[in-house]
Amino acid sequence: MTHLQATSAPLHTAFDCGLLDLDGVIYRGSDPVPHAPGAVAEARDHGMRTMFVTNNASRTPGTVADHLTELGVPTGAEEVMTAAMAVAALIAKEADAATRVFVVGGRGLRQAVADEGLPVVDTATDGATVVVQGFDPELTWKDLAEAAYAIGRGAEHIASNLDQSLPTEHGLAPGNGALVAAVAAATGKQPRASGKPAPEIFQQAARACGARRPLVVGDRLDTDLEGARAAQFPGLWVNTGVDGPTQILQAARGQRPTFLADDLRWLSRPHPVPERNGQWWACGEAAARVDGGTVVVRRDGREVALDRDRQLTLDELRAAASATWTAADAAGVDNALDADFPQISLVDPGGSALAR
């Protein structure tokens, strides 16, 4: 299904393992996302196991686990699955006797490649057959240039992920995809990519967790939620990272979440599903429909178009998402909204805008 689903039980009961993204879900840079440590603790207390699945390939699982523990989320290295691990496994699966790997990335990627027993070369002139590139904030022009030289000599370019941006405590910063794009622009060759949204990283994490009913949790549609769809796992979107309510309403079929939430506290709550009544979709006291590319919500007996009122409650977002996705599917398009549809925010029941 590509529409929202309901759970009468809390998610931590309906699913046995949460496959949680990190950046924008658990932390932003060095700071925890509000409510995240307590929400993870409550879900674990009720029996939900956790695996932390990240496209950041710069750090080792042990380093990631230590960071999470410092932030109030006690974690062991065995609970971390990184894109570095996924891409190293991919290269190892395809390797032959001639394979030589040039690593452009941080300690996490280097360790993952070494753990797979792959031979590593230090420069572009050492016969590299594969250039593997992962995020590292310490990368320099020289590193990117050396990668370009190796690719120019015939090496294949494989990226751990193609995330264009990275949420930090200061805002969005260039992600691995932005740095990969620089190398691709220099060489004229587009790389393959592992990590999200490819399904393998989620499937590996689910196997490591022993999950029979895994739930993917993330903030990005084009990585976390698209990857959940690709792996055929349900996905929970949280409004604490990159993509906001406007992106939810415009979501393509292959990127739609199964559940919507303000933050991770909704792991411990049931989720209602909107119901259709003619042109209207209703969720609790909220109702929404699409009229000529505009979302209309019903408030206090009045119809309000979102080009004038740019805030939604969570139930209004659920209703509006059902309305826009249904309209898009009926029209055979990914987005049923006007091209200039305004950016909207999610509000709490008290009416104040939720910080993201």
Catalytic residues: 21, 23
- Asked if residue 6 lies in contact with residue 272, where contact means CB atoms within 8 angstroms, the answer is yes
Residue type, 314: L
Antiparallel, parallel or unpaired: β 235-238 and 214-218: parallel
Dihedral of the CA atoms 23, 26, 32, 34 (nearest 10)? 120
DSSP 264-287: GGGGGS-B---EEETTEEEETTEE
- Asked if residue 284 lies in contact with residue 316, where contact means CB atoms within 8 angstroms, the answer is no
Rounded to an integer, what distance in angstroms lies between the CA atom of residue 247 and that of residue 185?
28
Rounded to an integer, what distance in angstroms lies between the CA atom of residue 174 and that of residue 153?
27
Rounded to an integer, what distance in angstroms lies between the CA atom of residue 41 and that of residue 193?
33
